[in-house]
A and B are shown apart, each in its own frame.
Chain A
Amino acid sequence: SQQGEEDPQALSIQEGENATMNCSYKTSINNLQWYRQNSGRGLVHLILIRSNEREKHSGRLRVTLDTSKKSSSLLITASRAADTASYFCATERTGANSKLTFGKGITLSVRP
């Protein structure tokens, strides 16, 4: 079954606007990670948040984690055309070694 469910499935915004992407999951986790994938390429790790953390920042990225609601959000501030990509959340489940369970992804388009 799908562990991570992102929403929306697709998001189109104007350059300079903020983009907010959400992810929900079903089981208890060690950590949650966000990855970016440009078309036809491999995945690039963006940020990792552990289950005992609530918020984390990295440059223009802000991620939150609410373990009571089993949800996370990724905020990209002041978006750029180069942010256009697919974004995936992935969870490392508690007691399931380090394999990651991915959602289907969100397609973000940033219009110049």
Chain B
Amino acid sequence: NAGVMQNPRHLVRRRGQEARLRCSPMKGHSHVYWYRQLPEEGLKFMVYLQKENIIDESGMPKERFSAEFPKEGPSILRIQQVVRGDSAAYFCASSPLETGGEQYFGPGTRLTVT
């Protein structure tokens, strides 16, 4: 059973460009979470999705950031008009349970904005 897959692993964007980060959860997992980690910091929750539904987006910046988890295909975290402050590691996690279970993390996408 393959783990959580994220791609790309490294992404370089110039200021003003768009960044698209993809996450394929573990087989059988219908709950997907996105977290952001700044250097020397812990992970900060961004958004929690189930298939075709955003359950909790309380950690998402109000502008430029969006996420989706379509019926078919991976979950996508999209950042429009990137700025230097968006440089971070973005981790996706999946879980088979709605609550009370461990989350399985992907290797992360390291976004660098130049």
A contacts, CB < 8 Å to B: 2, 4, 30-31, 33, 35, 41-45, 48, 50, 88, 90, 92, 97-105
Contact = CB atoms under 8 A, between A and B. Distances in A.
Given A4-B42, A98-B48, A99-B45, A41 B107 contact: yes
Interface string B97-112: 1111111111110000
Interface of B: 4, 31, 33, 35, 40-45, 48, 55-56, 59, 91, 93, 95, 97-108
A92 B101 CA distance: 9
Contacts, number: 69
A92 B99 contact: yes
Residue from the set B31, B91, B101 with the largest chain A CB neighbour count within 10 Å: B101
A99 B48 contact: yes
B100 A92 contact: yes
Contact of B100 (A2, A50, A103): A50
A42 B106 CA distance: 6
Task: Give the interface centre of B4, B41, B98 by most chain A CB atoms within 10 Å.
Answer: B41
Question: Closest 4 CB pairs between A and B?
Answer: A102-B42, A43-B105, A42-B107, A98-B99
Contacts of B42: 2, 4, 88, 102-105
B10 to A, nearest CB: 11
B104 A45 contact: yes
B48 A42 contact: no
A56 B35 CA distance: 27
Contact of A30 (B100, B106, B107): B100
A45 B45 CA distance: 16
Contacts of A4: 42
